[in-house]
A and B are shown apart, each in its own frame.
Chain A
Amino acid sequence: MLNMVQALNQAMHQEMQRDPRVLVLGEDIAVDGGVFRLTDGLLDKFGQGRVIDTPLAESGIVGASIGMAVAGLRPIAEIQFMGFIYLAMNQIIAHAARIRNRSRGRFTVPIVIRTPYGAGVKALEHHSESTEALFCQIPGLKVVVPSTPHDAKGLLIASIRDDDPVIFLEPTKLYRAGRQEVPEEPYEVPLGKARIVREGEGVSIVAWGAMIPVVEQAAEIVGKDGIFPEVIDLRTLAPLDRETVLESVKRTGRLLIVHEAPKTCGLGAEIAAFTAEKAMFQLEAPIMRVTGQDITIPLAKGEDYYYPGPDRVALGIKKIMES
């Protein structure tokens, strides 16, 4: 039984063992094992040539990872919190995402940029960001978000083996939220494939990351009223598994999207749009979103107003079932 931190740590151990091209770099990741201990034990096992404590410079970390990848390595870069990834945005958007295209395939950037994201942990400012949609609009990037220890391990292994740059978002709230049976041997959870968390009827709820357990709790709540929603965990946000979502929505007739990011231009907007394009006439109710508001994520004392919890999601489910 492993929690998500242990599952991710195991994935990195095993991939570094398997492939000498894989290395990790970032702030405080070697001696300290990372501020959340994700890279614990890697330094002892693989040495400082492969487990690299870097200067405090996010653009430098991602930029250097790009250079390593172009020269044939497969670096895993850790950005300490998603709120600090903006310092590396130019490297991610202007370079990592487009070098394959710019060079017509001569050069590729098989890097994984891991970063903890999300609210619900009463953290400091800039430590609760959930701005995944920023990355989903960039051609050439893949965006992955696990919600369970099992998926975390398999998705990280698949991301490391993937030949394109992957933004790997780890829900801080779920790092140690629970344990799960995780196979000891390495395995891949394929990128671009959603998972049906629970089958249901009447409404499809699409969510990812830390919102999955919230949605599951909400489903328990509305279950008492005889509502049994279908819950889909996207797992990969780019490229999107539109097929699984559409197949489900066509069956259930309703779509509710739940994300902790601000509402406007959140990924929910894209999910709503393609559903309207492809399945409008199978819908029995308007598409609905339960999300964070378009405000700066509040500090600890105000966080609960912002963060979608089980009760807010349950209310959303009841509303869409009534409309």
Chain B
Amino acid sequence: MTQLHIKNGFVYDPLNRIDGEKMDILVRDGKIVDKLDGKRKRVIDASGMIVMPGGVDIHSHIAGPKVNSGRILRPEDHFKDVEVKTAKTRSGVGRSIPSTFTTGYRYARMGYTTVMDPAMPPLKARHTHEELNDTPIIDKASYPLLGDCWYVLEALRKGSVEECAAYVAWTMRATKGYVIKLVNPGGLEAWGFGGNVRDIDDPVPNFEITPREIVQGLCRVNQLLRMPHTIHVHTNNLGKPGNYATTLETMKCVENMANGDKPLIHVTHCQFSAFKGEDWRTFESGAEEIAKYVNNHSHVTTDMGQIVFTDTTTMTADGPFQYILYQLSGNKWVNSDVETETSTGIVPFTYKRSSFVHAIQWSIGLELALLIRDPWKIYLTTDHPNAGPFTYYPRIMSWLMSRRAREKLMKKMNTRARHKSLLPTIDREYTFYELAIATRAGQAKSLGLKQKGHLGLGADADIALYKIDPSSVDPSRKYRLVRRAFKNAAYTVKDGQIVVKNGEIVKSVNGRTFWVDVGTSASLMEIEPKLKKEFEDYYTVQYENYVVPEHHLAVSSPVSVKA
């Protein structure tokens, strides 16, 4: 039995409305408790430190065949960043696409304890889980890509939401997935034949169904199955000028399905979906329009997908978009088609301060985060590694918390972009409370992880301590201190065990893998014979071999829902 007493820290726990109060946190057996037994306990003096729940990342490509292809594609990326083995940690390499072990360690060092891998081709689930098993410390889950799956498209075309729901429920169990993920719905299927969909009402070739119907259909399925998170959508036309209109249409198309104030749709890495203008020359920010819509509606949540000016690797399931990026950059690339399910593309990319388009993109991410008033609706991500490696989060935090930090960078970026940016007109600066929402509480709430993102009684004892004193440090002026503090957590506690001390890993533990176990009623279960036929006709894998057994996960943690 391990007991921890974290004393006198400034606690930020937005889910329990605790805003920088000086208080103690007690931990027993990996849970937050209200009192400890006996005297055997470890005391951490947290005076002058911030205490927050462990960080939660809703969208970060950390595992799977695509990530691994990215690793193979980029030896020059590993070369720049090598981590040597220590007594507690394994060696590793990689700057924008770190190896699995290094990914776990680096997240833990920043005080993050839960990370979601957002794009798993269902067929490649086994590989994805094998990589997740080798990603230590952090808890994780994976989102199966379902927006272009033949079975889903076929069922929705017939208008049979129940059949689609049965299939989705089966896929969640078979692939040990957590969230329904849609990437460029319909577009990836079209890409299999060298095409794409132009907008949300452009029918998918061979299926006579529009992206709008796919989004609405899967949103309905999500409601039917009572999934913990909403549908997680990477919009059509992502990365193209003028796509903010498509994004707004996507948000609007599920507007009237709302049931109370519950969110229905998560538009991910929103920065890439908020482009205005006719082409790259007239490119501008559509953040204002998106923010206005999100401010006025409660059914949407988003995350930033914030650009960082650095060399990184873009990787998405959006094959057609990656092809455009390859043509723009002329870099080496990888493209692949996953049978009847999805596609993939990978292109190394460098975001430059001097580039007009990149500088505007940088501005869009921050405009979104600052113009959307409610921090429960927009979360901090870089869509790692697409807009920048996750190791840059502390830098983004400082931009959110300090106007001065933003202005300092803006002085060095493309002049035309600087004049077009809305940022100089925005005074808002995040407080530590808001930052805690954007980096942990909001994301945990959105994901439906009841044990995460807060420090209330019974929560998992995932705690991050940062060496910065909010009573004496003004984050707006001392943004460098903020960066330094959030880069290396003073302590990271995972399930009641101290894993990081002063930015160094002191213990490596295994994190859980969450997946959704949908308890379906009998009427939803009659798709098995049809599925078997589907596998015989279309798949290279047998039905029996497709399913990932539960013992394949190092630490399985099913989340049961009742459809």
Q: Do A and B bind each other?
A: no
